Amino acid sequence: RKEVEQDPGPFNVPEGATVAFNCTYSNSASQSFFWYRQDCRKEPKLLMSVYSSGNEDGRFTAQLNRASQYISLLIRDSKLSDSATYLCVVTYSSASKIIFGSGTRLSIRP
C-alpha cells in the first residue's frame, strides 16, 4: 500500500461543476500537506498548502482531517483550464522527505 493514496480518476465533469478529491496518508507523523497541479509533461506547480483549519483560495478549498488522515481539495465553478492532474503531497519532519500521491486526473468538458 502506498503511503499517500489518491483516486487516479479520471474525473470528467462539465464546466461550472463542483468537484472534490480526497487523498489519504498512512503515516501519522506527517507534518505538512500540499496540493500541486501538474499539466501533461510539465512540472508540478504548487496550488495550495493545507492547514488543519482549512484554507480557501478563490474557487479552491483545501481541508485536512488529521484524525482520519486525509486531505481534500474542492474546486467550485470549474473552468476548462482546471483540467490537469492534481497531486497530493505529504511531508514529514525532514523537509526532504516529501511523498507524492500518484495524482488524480481531472478533465473539464465544455
Partner 1 sequence: AAGVIQSPRHLIKEKRETATLKCYPIPRHDTVYWYQQGPGQDPQFLISFYEKMQSDKGSIPDRFSAQQFSDYHSELNMSSLELGDSALYFCASSPGPNSYEQYFGPGTRLTVT
CB of 50 to partner 1, least distance (A): 11
Q: What is the contact mask toward partner 1 in residues 55 to 74, using x (rule: CB under 8 A)? A: --------------------
Q: Any contact of residue 1 with partner 1 (CB under 8 A)?
A: no
Alpha-carbon distance values, 53 to 45, 84, 90, 101 (Å): 23, 26, 17, 22
List Cβ<8 Å contacts ≥24 apart for 26-32. 26/1, 26/2, 26/69, 27/3, 27/90, 27/92, 28/66, 28/69, 29/92, 29/93, 30/69, 30/90, 30/91, 30/92, 31/91, 31/92, 31/93, 32/90, 32/91
Q: Any contact of residue 21 with partner 1 (CB under 8 A)?
A: no
Exactly one of 53, 68, 81, 94 binds partner 1 (CB under 8 A); that residue is 94
Q: Which is nearer to partner 1, 75 or 90 (CB)?
A: 90
Q: Any contact of residue 32 with partner 1 (CB under 8 A)?
A: yes
Exactly one of 11, 21, 25, 34 binds partner 1 (CB under 8 A); that residue is 34
Binding site for partner 1 (CB under 8 A): 31-32, 34, 41-46, 49, 87, 91, 94-98, 100-103
